[in-house]
Structure 1
Amino acid sequence: MNFNNVNDDAFRPLPGLSNPHLQTMLPRLVRRRISLMPHWQRLTLPDSDFVDLAWSEDPAQARHKPRVVLFHGLEGSVHSPYAHGLLQAFQARGWLGVVMHFRGCSGEPNRLARIYHSGETEDASYLLQWLRDEWGHVPTAAVGVSLGGNMLAFLMGQQQERCLLDAGVVISAPLMLEPCSVKLEQGFSRVYQRYLLGLLKQNAARKLHAWPGTLPVDLPALKAMKKLREFDDAITARAHGFRDASDYYQRCSALPLLPGVAKPLLIIHAADDPFMTAAVIPPPAMLPATVEYQLTRHGGHVGFVGGTLLKPQMWLEQRVPQWLSTWLDK
């Protein structure tokens, strides 16, 4: 990625550990165990399927608090280091946090012939309306990470003034899906592709065992897949009405929708993100006044570990609440 408009003062990596791959993997060492005890709730969707919610505390006792919804990345969950780390940071600020697990990502396969993808905003939209109806109208923000970040930016650009959020933050999002797909097939980034594809295949296999016929492939075809694009061609695209992976990537990339974002939005990228290319960096002229773009020189993919070896600091857990406080601490 290029270094135009990089903010060198925004994030300082842990000394000696600025390598993007180290930054990408460090949170799994720093945030190995989840110390928060989530309050779980299952939300039934209009089509009779479900998503599972992991709250920072029982919402019945915290309905008066400002809310922050977190949309995780590909095959993520509340157990992802960034997810439970941010939930704890929100709780420390006196906010109520909740992770919405995309269909099939909470450990139990979803029932219908669909999964989730980078442009699937129906479940998130339903959740935001349900939160207001069920728990009342309080200041509400959302944070989207990686795939969940593209989805959140897509939703905010799609809904414009109708969006029920007061503000949003998008972190390490593949805002142009096609170039990011190509990047994951090159060099060391292929290690990440192999890891992510392995998670997707495991999850899809669980779904096929639990609900036969709910995916457009069988187990031998699933096992034969070697690239994320093959998975998106055979499953993501076919299950959701796209012609193929390229059609899905083109129609679900959030960057073209950014001019329509009407609510405050912060987008954070690292210039050394091994999942990204310069194609995800929006031209300044296309951004409305509502969108703030922050490009750091280092940070990797959802890494951003600073501080010292004895006391590492998760920069996102400081930066995100600090930025959101303007709209949540009213």
Structure 2
Amino acid sequence: MPHCCNHNFVDSAVLQPISFAPLPLLSSGHIQTILGGFPSLRSAPPSVTHLVSLNDGDILACEVATPTGWHPEQRTAFLIHGLCGSDRSPRVIRLARKLYRRGVKVVRINLRGCGSGKGHARKPYHGGCSGDIAAVLKAFKTETPYSPFCVTGFSLGGNIALKLAGELGSAAEDLLDLVIAISPPIDLAASVQRIGLSENRLYEVAFIRGLLQEVTERHAMFPELQPVMFPFDPKLFAFDQLYTAPAWGFTDALDYYDRASAKPLIKNITIRSHIIVAEDDPIIDPYALDPKTIPNSVQVWRTACGGHMGYVARPRRGQSIHWLDQLMIKWIEAS
């Protein structure tokens, strides 16, 4: 095992005695990223679809898994997928299943038009749609006002979760008590630039393919939408410039990135929050957050390796190779 990867976590103030040991010979950021997203061999927990109406007429679909015997004073965990993901994303399903087995009610939120929400939203989701998540939390809080809520966001979902917590400030305590952000692109412009590097072209191609498929499906369901002409082999920046920014009234892609990034809002977070990043992440800048702006309520954990939401560990007796899942469960159960 490379020595650099048996690396202690460091938060903004103190050293934490927790280390990550990757699978032998499989410690590179690219390999960890790919392994972490392998489809789950086990199914998602049994769920029912819950629809949440938004102010503009669009609807979000949430997959709600309620364990037998769960009562309204017990915890509810909300999971937000990343770019081109859904309630069926492997990492989302894996964590949902493990939390469900521990008696936690799990709500897998689909961003606009994703997963079981296809056909329910005319507008696309974007990386800063924190208002949509707030609408979901408020809807469920009305139904179960005494259930403590936590939100876990994966990649783009992590940026959205942090942005929401920062926007709400102390008012967030009325809705939730914990935020977990996994490999969040808190500086969207920096992430788009990083993904555009030649060594990361594989990820950009995959994202663009997924995004264009989403556009095709959305316009087929809503033929009244104006067609959009994309260049051959577009980059993420071009997609956001031509599609995401106009759809949401941003001046351009840079305006979108600036206004949708959680980075400038993290200083306002008052609820307990965990952010975890790896130095070898090929998709986000692990040093995007200035330590001087991190409030005491937020712990930032950084490892030497682990890739983008990877953290596939050396097998140990009685433990899953998905080391990050165990860490997230520990944080949730400690809240």
Both structures adopt the same fold (TM-score exceeding 0.5)? yes
The alignment status of 1:56 with 2:65, answered yes or no, reads: yes
301, 326, 333: which one aligns with 1:318: 326
Structure 2 CA distance, aligned partners of 1:250 and 1:170?
19
State the partner residue of 1:171.
Answer: 182
Residue from 33, 39, 47 that aligns with 1:24:
33
Query: 2:309 aligned with 1:297, yes or no?
Result: no
CA contact (8 A) 1:6 1:271 kept: no
| Cα distance between partner residues in 1 of 2:56 and 2:256 | 22
Amino acid of the residue matched to residue 295 of structure 2? P
2:291 is the alignment partner of 1:284: yes
Q: Name the CA distance, whole Å, in 2 between partners of 1:198 and 1:30.
A: 18
Is residue 243 of structure 2 the alignment partner of residue 243 of structure 1?
no
How far 1:261 moved relative to its partner? 0.3
- 1:279 shift after superposition: 4.5
Q: How does 1:230-269 map to 2 (within 5 A)?
A: 230-269=238-277
Deviations 1:163-221 (A, max 9, x none): 1111110000111011111111112211100001100100110111110233x543xx1
C-alpha contact (below 8 Å) 1:145/1:172 kept by paired residues: yes
Letter in 1 for 2:133: A
Specify which structure has the bigger relative contact order, considering alpha-carbon pairs within 8 angstroms and separated by 6 or more residues.
1
Instruction: Give the Cα–Cα distance (whole angstroms) in 1 for the partners of residues 334 and 320 of structure 2.
Output: 26
Which string of whole-angstrom CA distances, capped at 9 and with x for unpartnered residues, describes residues 14-33 of structure 1?
12210111111113447244
Q: Secondary structure at the match of 1:157?
A: helix
1:212 matches 2:223: yes
Counterpart Cα distance in 2 of 1:187 and 1:176: 20
Q: 2:40, 2:90 within 8 Å by CA — same for their partners in 1?
A: yes
- 1:225–1:231 CA contact under 8 A, matched in 2: no
Q: Which runs of 5+ in 1 are unaligned?
A: none
Is the 8 Å Cα contact of residues 81 and 110 (structure 2) preserved in structure 1? yes
| Among candidates 201, 204, 220, match of residue 193 of structure 1 | 204
Match of 1:130 in 2: 139
The alpha-carbon distance between structure 1 residues 28 and 147, as it changes in their structure 2 partners (threshold 3 A), is closer
Structure-2 separation of matches of 1:253 and 1:229? 15
TM-score (normalizing by structure 2): 0.88
Question: Residue type matched to 1:297 in 2?
Answer: A
> How far is 1:269 from its partner?
0.5
SS at match of 1:266: strand
58-67 vs 189-198, greater mean Cα deviation:
58-67
Structure 2 Cα separation of the partners of residues 211 and 265 of structure 1: 38
Identical aligned pairs, as a percentage?
30
Distance 1:18 1:152 in 2: 28
Q: Any idea what SS the aligned residue of 1:265 has?
A: strand
Change (3 A) 1:58 1:41: farther
Letter in 2 for 1:316: L
Task: Give the stretch that moved more between structures: 270-279 or 34-43.
Answer: 34-43
Match in the other structure for 1:11: 20
2:45 maps to a residue whose letter is L
Distance 1:43 1:154 in 2: 20
Give CA-to-partner distance per residue, 1:76-100, whole Å, 9 cap, x none. 1122111011101211322111111
Contact 1:34 1:79 in 2 (8 A): no
The Cα of 1:39 is off from its aligned counterpart by 2.6
**3-state secondary structure, aligned to 1:313:** coil
Question: 1:233 and 1:32, CA in 2 relative to 1: closer, same or farther beyond 3 A?
Answer: farther
> Which amino acid in 2 is paired with 1:256?
P
Paired with 1:259 and 1:46, the residues of 2 have a C-alpha distance of: 28
Q: Distance in 2 between matches of 1:274 and 1:284?
A: 21
What is the TM-score normalised by the length of structure 1? Answer: 0.90
Distance 1:299 1:176 in 2: 20
Equivalent of 2:234, from 211, 223, 226? 226
CA positional deviation for 1:45: 2.7
Q: Which residue of 2 aligns with 1:116?
A: 125
Shift of 1:159: 0.5
1:308 is the counterpart of 2:319: no
Which shows bigger deviation, 222-231 or 268-277?
A: 222-231
Q: What's the CA shift for 1:222?
A: 3.7
Q: Distance in 2 between matches of 1:173 and 1:56?
A: 25
Structure 2 unaligned residues grouped into runs of 5+: 11-16
Q: CA separation in 2, counterparts of 1:316 and 1:232?
A: 31
Structure 1 stretch 44-53 or stretch 162-171: which is displaced more? 44-53
Q: CA deviation at 1:10?
A: 2.8
